[in-house]
Every structure is written in C-alpha cells, then in structure tokens.
Structure 1
C-alpha cells in the first residue's frame, strides 16, 4: 500500500488504471487510439508546415489554424504516449510531478484551444460582416496579440490548480481510475477540504469556456443575420460554407468537453467506462479531426497536400 504524502515529500507516485472494466480489451483498443494519435500528429504537423512555407496562407484564418494545430499537438501528446504505455506495457505508475505536469498541460491547452476557436469565430465574423475592412482590422499584429492573450490566459488561469494541489496531503489510496491525470480525478485523492479547489475549477471553466462560447454564439448570430440579408442564394451558400468547417471543429471540441466536465461533477449515474472513454476521446478526436476537416474544406491546403504526395512535377 502506498504511504500518504505530506507537503515536504515529493516521492509519491500514482497508479493510473487505464479503462476500468475493459482491462481484457484495452490492449487491442490501444491500437485504435495509436492510429488516431498518428493521424493527429501527422495531420497537424502537415498543416503547420504548409502554412509556414506558403506565404499566401499568412492570413488571419490560416494563422489561427496553425495555432490550433500546435495546440492539438500538445494536447494529444500530453496524454497519448503514457496511455499507450499503460495499455501495452502495463506501465501504470506515474510520478507525482509528472502527474501535476500532465494536469497543467491538459487544462492549460484545453483553455488555449477554446480561446483559439473563439478567435477563429471572430475572424469569420469580421470576414463576412466587414469584408472590405478584414485585412485592416485583423492585421498580423492583432492576430499575434490575440494568440498571445489566449496563451497567457490559459497559463495564468490553470497554474493555480497545480500550486494548490502541491500544498495538500494525499490519502494512502493513490489510485486514479482512468488513463491520465486530470484535475478532478486528482482532487478525489486528497485527504483535506477541497471546496476551494473545486470552486476555483468551476470559476475557470465558466470564465474560460463560458466566455468563449458566448463570444462564439454572438459572432455566429451576427454572421447568420448578415448572411440571411444577402440578396443572392449563391452568396449565402458560399458564406455558410466558409463557416461549416469551423462549426464542425467547435462541436467536436465542446460537446465531449462539456460532457466530461459535467459528468465529473454531476453525472454520478453515468457508467464509469462511458465517462473514461469520452474523457480519452475528448483529448484525441478533435486533434485528429481538425486537420482532416480543414484539409478537405480548404482548397489551398488540399492542393498543397496533393502536390506533396504526387510531386510538383506532375
């Protein structure tokens, strides 16, 4: 049995169980996760590389897309290698500091991803509602400041999670019944009053996701009003098509994220297997789907990928 840790000892490790209830199947399930992770890594690196080398893509929409791709790389890599080690090699131990680092990266870059999606919604709003002023409003400087703001917000808002946890004692039972270290899962192992931690977690969730979803909703309400006022049906279809990929990415990120967040706090009757699987997919599906969605919907990226496979001479 593991011994409890006091605030001066940092030798504790935790045990990540993987997927409780699917112990006999998770070895094979891991192959699916591994394939999804490979697609996510290759796809997002490809998107970043294409945007970096093609100067015609140095526009707000593509710069935000590059930020999204880099965020997805960090999010998926923060959990998947360790998860595959659990499933394939039974490497269930994770050191105390490594667990806190994982908590930090998961929550900080989930916040960054939400912020980037909000910035992309603002970009679509300006592009459709103020097309003649788009380049003067969203200059490279403004895009850089928006990207820096969402990054700093994620780092500053989430850092207290790890600081508060590091000052609290853990119980002797240090088993985490899932595949990675997550804030609420780690809180359940603390032998102290965690009401402040939980309250701060709710504050971060509502101040980040709540704010971003409000801005996204307002942006698309204004976009919808502008598009419906267009006299040409063809123009309306074209305007909607430019937003379709972004809407798909928003749904792929927020739906499982909100389900996971609400289940941790209120979904006591949700089967643990369902909760854990969705928690895994929440950090894996968006990074895998985003480059595919934008690769299919964005002509410049699609053509660059085809050139890469077929050769420039063909």
Structure 2
C-alpha cells in the first residue's frame, strides 16, 4: 500500500501514486495500457493520414472524423505517457505547474471531444433530413468554424479551474492517489474548504454533458421522425445505418464518463482503485475503438484504408523478393 505519510522532497511538486492498492501489479497493468495506447495512435493517425491523402474524402463528415481522431490522440497522450512512467520507472513526481497544465489540457480536449460528437449528430440530421441542402448547410469551412467554437467553449469552461485551485494553499502532504492530475484529485490536496471546486466541477460536468446530450437527443429525435415518414423499410435501414457508428461512440463516451464523475465525488465507500480504473477505461477505450468503429461502418474510409494496406503489403513483398 502507499505510504501517505511520505511527502515530496520539493514543495513545488506533487506525487502521483498510480493505482493505490494495486502497486505490486503496476507493471502488469501497464502492459494492456501500453498496447491500447499504441493501437489508439496507429488507428487515429491512420484516419488522419488516409483522409489527408485522399481528395475524395475531403468532406464535412471526414473532417469531423479527423477532429475526433485529434481529440482521441490528445486525451490519450495527455495521460498515458505519464502513467507509464509511474508504472515502469517510478517517476511519480510532477510539478504543480505541470500538474495544472495536464489537468487543463485533458479537460479542454475532453470537452472538445463532446462538442465534436454534437456536431456529428447535427451532420447526421442534415444528411438524413435535408440531403439536398447538405452541401449548402455543411461546408468544410462551416465545420471548421464549429470546431473553433467548440474549442473556445472548452477553454472558457476550464479556464477557471487552475485559478480555483490556486486560491488556497496546498497541504504539506501532496500525494495524489491517481495516475493523472484530475481536477477533484488535485482539489483534495487543498488546505481549506473546497466546496466551490466541487460545485463548479459538478456544474461544469452536467452543463457540458447535459447540454450536449440534449442537442444529440434532439437531433436523433428529428432523425427518427423523418425516418418513420419513409415508407420503404430498406430506406429505413439505410438511413439508420448511417447513424450506427456515431451512436456506438456516444454510448462509449458519456455513460462511463458520467458514472466516473459521480463516483469520484460521492462514492466514498467505493475502493480508490475502482475510481481510477473507471477513469482509465473512460480515457483508454473510446479513443481505441472510435477509429475501428468508423473504419468498419464507413465504406468509403474502409475502402481507402484497405487500398493503402494492400499497397503497403505489395511494396514490402516486392522489397523482400529483391532482397
């Protein structure tokens, strides 16, 4: 178990313990985490590469996929490398400024990810309910502007957090029982009343998730109404199939994230390692599966990826014969 009487030698640093209660298994836990991270990078960079190279994929839907891939890479990269350093090399120290920077970047990218899912729902609504006006309503330039609005919103929501954490002194024992600098994990290191931090964090989580989920539900309500008006069952299936990948991504993104947020604040009877494992799954699984889901369900993307894999295989085979 972690010795919580130990304090950092440098008063300007925190100590990230990893997963309390499972310290002896850190090396084993790091194996699936590192594999997931590598697959996440390969999958999302493949999406970025293929969409960037193929002129026929320079469309709003694929631009949104690229934005989603960037946020998936950002979420994973903000957390996983430091966690692996803890698991492999016992490099548990992190500066206060570094901790707040990690927290800020992670939460900004997470909120940006949610905004992209909302824009994707709007994209599906326009594609199904107003197909003839799709190119007029959703151009690449408009998608880029919506992405910028999502980024500004994320920054404005998260910007108060570092200031709220700086308003009180940190306690002498700066040991954070976590793999990364989550807002509430850092807030618990403050010497003083953290009610404001709790309220703002909870309001922010519900404001973002509540608002975004409402917009997504509204989009799908309108989609469902439009689909039910179509008499052809084949057309029903075709229209709903275009939404399958997006619905799968939503089901991975929101329920686990909301449950993790609530248990971290109110699940005092739940073991700490359960909190951290839930948070880690919320970080690792969606970025890992998102490119796979869209690669399988989106024919254009699947065909282009297959073309590049076949071309790469042919090149390797030719070089092997020449050698």
Alpha-carbon shift at residue 197 of structure 1 (Å): 2.0
Q: Is the 8 A contact 1:11 1:95 kept in 2?
A: no
Give the equivalent residue in structure 2 for 1:225: 225
Give the equivalent residue in structure 2 for 1:311: 311
CA–CA distance in structure 1, aligned partners of residues 168 and 41 of structure 2: 36
Give the equivalent residue in structure 1 for 2:127: 127
Alpha-carbon shift at residue 293 of structure 1 (Å): 0.5
Deviations 1:111-146 (A, max 9, x none): 000000001001101111111111111122221111
Q: Is the 8 A contact 2:125 2:219 kept in 1?
A: yes
TM-score (norm: length of structure 2)? 0.92
Alpha-carbon shift at residue 312 of structure 1 (Å): 7.6
Alpha-carbon shift at residue 181 of structure 1 (Å): 0.5
Alpha-carbon shift at residue 230 of structure 1 (Å): 1.1
TM-score (norm: length of structure 1)? 0.94
Written as runs of structure 1 = structure 2, the 5 A alignment for 1:7-18 is 12-18=12-18
Give the equivalent residue in structure 2 for 1:55: 55
Alpha-carbon shift at residue 166 of structure 1 (Å): 2.3
Alpha-carbon shift at residue 11 of structure 1 (Å): 5.1
The unaligned stretches of length 5 or more in structure 2 are 1-5, 315-323
- 2:15 is paired with a residue whose SS is strand
Deviations 1:1-37 (A, max 9, x none): 5379xxxxx9511111111111121211101000000
Q: Is the 8 A contact 1:71 1:113 kept in 2?
A: yes
Q: Which runs of 4+ in 1 moved over 4 A?
A: none
Match of 1:2 among 7, 14, 32: 7
Give the equivalent residue in structure 2 for 1:258: 258
CA–CA distance in structure 2, aligned partners of residues 70 and 131 of structure 1: 27
Give the equivalent residue in structure 1 for 2:273: 273
Give the equivalent residue in structure 1 for 2:319: none
Deviations 1:42-68 (A, max 9, x none): 111111111112121122111111101
Question: Is the counterpart of residue 213 in structure 1 residue 213 in structure 2?
Answer: yes
- 2:132 is paired with a residue whose SS is helix
Question: Is the counterpart of residue 204 in structure 1 residue 204 in structure 2?
Answer: yes
CA–CA distance in structure 1, aligned partners of residues 53 and 218 of structure 2: 34
Give the equivalent residue in structure 2 for 1:7: none
Deviations 1:222-273 (A, max 9, x none): 1111112211111111111110000010111112110111111222222322
- 1:15 is paired with a residue whose SS is strand
The unaligned stretches of length 5 or more in structure 1 are 5-9
CA–CA distance in structure 1, aligned partners of residues 291 and 158 of structure 2: 26
Give the equivalent residue in structure 1 for 2:95: 95
**Residues 244, 98 of structure 1: alpha-carbon distance in 2 compared, 3 angstrom cutoff:** same
Alpha-carbon shift at residue 86 of structure 1 (Å): 0.6
Give the equivalent residue in structure 2 for 1:109: 109
- 2:159 is paired with a residue whose SS is helix
Give the equivalent residue in structure 2 for 1:289: 289
CA–CA distance in structure 2, aligned partners of residues 215 and 58 of structure 1: 26
Give the equivalent residue in structure 1 for 2:46: 46
Give the equivalent residue in structure 2 for 1:20: 20
- 1:94 is paired with a residue whose SS is strand
Q: Is the 8 A contact 1:295 1:301 kept in 2?
A: yes
- 1:244 is paired with a residue whose SS is helix
Q: Is the 8 A contact 1:11 1:96 kept in 2?
A: no
CA–CA distance in structure 1, aligned partners of residues 225 and 312 of structure 2: 43
CA–CA distance in structure 2, aligned partners of residues 25 and 312 of structure 1: 38
RMSD: 1.7
